[in-house]
Amino acid sequence: MDLGKWVLWGLLLFLAVVLGNVVWVLGVRRLYRPRTAPPQLLKARCQDGWEIAVHARRAPKRRFEEPVLLCHGLAANRFTFDFAPPYSVAHYLAEAGFDCFSVEWRGTGHSRNPPPGRRYTDFTIDDHVLQDAPAMMELALKETGAKRAFWLGHSMGGLVGYAAAQGPLGHQLAGLMVLGSPVFFKSEPLLRSLLGLGVHAAWPARLRQEWMSATLAPFLGYVNLPLSDLLVNPQHMPPQIQRQVFATMLSSMSRKVLLQFRDWIENDTFRSYDGRVDWRAGLSSLTLPVLVMGGSSDRLASAENLRKQYELLTTSDRTLHVFGRDRGDKMDYGHGDLMFGTGAPIEVYPLIRAWLEARATPLPAAVEQPLVSPTLPA
């Protein structure tokens, strides 16, 4: 067989493998997609023309004026907060009477419509702070008629909240809740090495790790992935939930965002992409209520890290809660355990609800709201 035929057979084999993987991933995502009524899909246009998706989960009986903005972290999407009950903060808070709006940051999920001349990987965390956050806030306030909203962010979503609260958006926030969000970045060597590899693997634009996670999802619960405890302790999650989370919740990462995280880790800082705005120093200027939460075994946002950021806050209404066995909790929570650990719906969610209810504005009478279509016309 001549060289040309070997090349042809090699190309056909490569295409078959790629096609097979695509079919496998699509099938896995369909099989493990959360079986629950989808939220209403809304679109918010940012000042720079980027269109982001905001998923609205309405309260059947709305009891409070302020909506809750649910903001996911790096490499995640709206399923972080709007999953299938009982592992769904959006469902939980909606039943308590709060309208919930789960964002998908630009470049993620349904938010892949950049303006002309931009790629959907061309953004930094600064864009989440200066563009996405105001657009999401404007939409939520318009939809509910409220004057202010609460912010709940997990991991990077909490960091975006910290930064956004220091700007013009601050007066529109009724309170800020951060969950597993580190503002100090002196990390262990392993994390530094992994991030460095991620930056290189993301060249020239993004890291598509969601394909690998979806490919391997059906095997979780039977075997554990290496280093999976960095994200979530598999011993704290039911196997079926592990498979669903890894099949549907992970998203690709922009190389620019990874470069920004590398700057934070290498220089132990929390600042803008150009280095001009020190968001960590700005924490002392916040005057709104802040709830700092995390897990006692979280290797990305350690208990020490949470205590240090809590000490930077000077607002009169600040609360620190580290979930763990030393407080009588069911488990020593890791990073993702705060959302999907077996104890989260009975220990983490109720604390969030109680904190919100103590600070939200009750409506004179509960407002019954009809079910709405999951999507808007194009």
Are 8 and 224 spatial neighbours (Cβ–Cβ below 8 Å)?
no
Length of the chain: 378
Burial class for 84, CB neighbours closer than 10 Å (0-12, 13-18, 19+): middle
In tens, the pLDDT along 25-37 reads 888 889 889 889 9
One-letter amino acid at 363 equals: L
For the segment 251-306, what is each residue's pLDDT rounded down to a tens digit?
Answer: 989 999 999 999 999 999 999 999 999 999 999 999 999 999 999 999 999 999 99
Query: Which residue matches tokens 């039911």?
Result: 238
pLDDT tens digits, residue range 9-54?
777 777 777 687 778 888 888 988 988 999 999 999 999 999 999 9
- pLDDT at residue number 192: 79
Q: Which two tokens stand for residue 132?
A: 């996405």
Q: What is the pLDDT of residue 186?
A: 80
Which of 195, 104, 98 lies closest to 157, judged by CA? 104
Three-state secondary structure string covering the chain: CCHHHHHHHHHHHHHHHHHHHHHHHHHHHHHHCCCCCCCEEEEEECCCCCEEEEEEECCCEEEECCCEEEECCCCCCHHHCCCCCCCCHHHHHHHCCCCEEEEECCCCCCCCECCCCCCCCCCCHHHHHHHHHHHHHHHHHHHHCCCCEEEEEECHHHHHHHHHHCCHHHHHEEEEEEECCCCCCCCCHHHHHHHHHHHHHCCCCEECHHHHHHHHHHHECCECCCCHHHCCCHHHCCHHHHHHHHHHCCCCEEHHHHHHHHHHHHHCCCECCCCCCECCHHHHHCCCCEEEEEECCCCCCCHHHHHHHHHHCCCCCEEEEEECHHHCCCCCCCCCHHHHCCCHHHHHHHHHHHHHHHHCCEEEEEEECCCCCCECCC
Residues 6+ apart with CB under 8 A from 309: 182, 183, 184, 280, 283, 292
209-216 vs 239-248: helix crossing angle, rounded to 10: 150
What is the per-residue pLDDT for 1? 52
On the question of a cis peptide bond just before residue 350, with omega within 30 degrees of 0, the verdict is no
C-alpha to C-alpha distances, 152 to 89, 246, 290, 296, 364, nearest whole angstrom: 10, 22, 10, 19, 25
Sort strands 206-207 and 253-254 into parallel, antiparallel or unpaired. antiparallel
Q: What is the pLDDT of residue 35?
A: 87
* Tokens standing for residue 227: 């280093």
Contact 103, 69 (CB under 8 A): yes
Between CA 196 and CA 190 the distance in angstroms is 10
* Residue 102 main-chain phi, psi, to 5 deg: -95, 120
The pLDDT value given to residue 377 = 39
Distance CA 303, CA 9 (A): 55
pLDDT at position 376 is 46
Give the largest Cα separation in the chain, rounded.
Answer: 82
Q: What does the pLDDT read at residue 357?
A: 98
The domain over range 33-184+270-368 is classified in CATH as 3.40.50.1820:
yes
Q: In the Cβ-directed half-sphere of 253, how many Cα atoms lie within 13 Å?
A: 24
- Residue recorded with tokens 């009524």: 37
Q: Which residues of the chain have pLDDT under 70?
A: 1, 18, 188, 226-227, 373-378
